[in-house]
Amino acid sequence: MGIALSNLLPLCVSLLAGFGLYRFNWSFLRTHIDTVASVSMYVLMMFMGISIGQIDGFFDMLVRVGLTALAIAVATTAGAMAVIWGVMYRPQRGRPPHPVTPTTMATDGIEAVTPPDRLLHHLAAPLKMIGMVAVGFVLAWAHWLPKAPYEHVATALLYVMTCAIGFQLAMSNVRFKELIANRRGLKIALCVFAGTYLGALIVAPLLSLPLRGTVGVASGFGWASLSGILFSRLGEPVVGSIAFLTDMFREALALILIPLLSHRQRGKMAIGACAATCMDVTLPVIERHNPDRRDVTAAFVSGSLLSFAVPFLIPLTVM
């Protein structure tokens, strides 16, 4: 627990520092903060790959790591959707569904199926992250790296990235009071929180997985660019690789489920499948397919609340 708290405090400070820097209204930061966040994230992904590449016999574990990540992703996504169905849809089963007309669509005149170019656009960032992890892995596995204090550099970059995330949240006019005030978004976030951990608690004994590690991996809530990095910095590179792949799978499942569920008037379940990613990555897809504008706002609120929780929850699962 001491390790968790010693890592949690600097993360809290750096996240709050990002919010504080926004108040200075520096035009340079406003212009370049996205670049700072992106560069930090991709370099940290490479460092995560280096940590994995230094593990003896990782190739022997690769299939097991991938299957474990897929199982956790499916279980947590299903758990989140099941809880949302039970809380927000099941009591209304006897009522006739509200008809959806073209005028209530979030975006008029757009076809129901996402075109291939849009799909490639959403896959670009995940593919880049996987590529950076692969580069770091190859460099470490082939022993092409000179000896250097990589851990200190990675830790510093993690705090820079967390600070940039806080700045970006402030730029998005995210206010905690406003997030709590949106009851629909808060309700969805609580359902996702409960359903995700329910799925983790179910899948862990079924696959003979460590309960604490499974709950920790589930605490990423789909935020692949942060969860794997946090675990790697906390000295758990194998768990970090599982967390990274789990959240990548959750994001992929969300992109598939959003149109399927939204066009069957199950938009809140689609938001639940997205978890934290509906704050940014999957939000345009939700807006494209969801017929209820209130759900689009609730998606952003839910994703924001879950994103706030990730940097705090993951360190608490590491002893």
Is pLDDT at 201 greater than 80 in this prediction? Answer: yes
179-161-242-63 Cα dihedral, nearest 10 degrees: 130
Cβ pair 48, 243 in contact under 8 A: no
* pLDDT tens per residue across span 7-48: 667 877 887 888 888 888 778 787 888 888 888 888 888 888
Residue 112's pLDDT is 42
* pLDDT tens-digit map of 217-255: 999 999 887 888 888 878 788 898 899 999 988 988 888
Residue 108: per-residue pLDDT: 37
CA distances from 31 to 119, 167, 208, 248 (A): 27, 12, 48, 28
pLDDT in tens, 92-107: 545 555 544 443 434 3
Instruction: With a cut of 70, say whether residue 117 has pLDDT above it.
Output: no
| Dihedral of alpha carbons 133, 134, 140, 144, sign | negative
Query: What pLDDT, in 10s, does the model give residues 119-175?
Result: 556 567 677 878 888 898 899 888 888 877 777 888 888 888 888 878 887 887 666
Residue 308's nearest CA partner among 197, 199, 177, 195 is: 177
CB 275 within 8 A of CB 192: yes
* Among 219, 222, 247, 239, CA closest to 313: 219
Q: Quick: pLDDT tens for 262-317.
A: 877 788 999 999 999 887 778 777 877 877 777 888 888 898 889 888 888 888 88
Task: Determine the pLDDT at residue 71.
Answer: 96
pLDDT at 110: 35
Q: Tokens in use for 301? A: 């609120």
Q: Is the pLDDT of residue 178 over 70?
A: no
Question: What is the per-residue pLDDT across 54-77, written as a single tens digit (0 to 9) for each?
Answer: 877 777 788 899 999 999 999 999
- Please give the single-letter amino acid code of residue 178: E
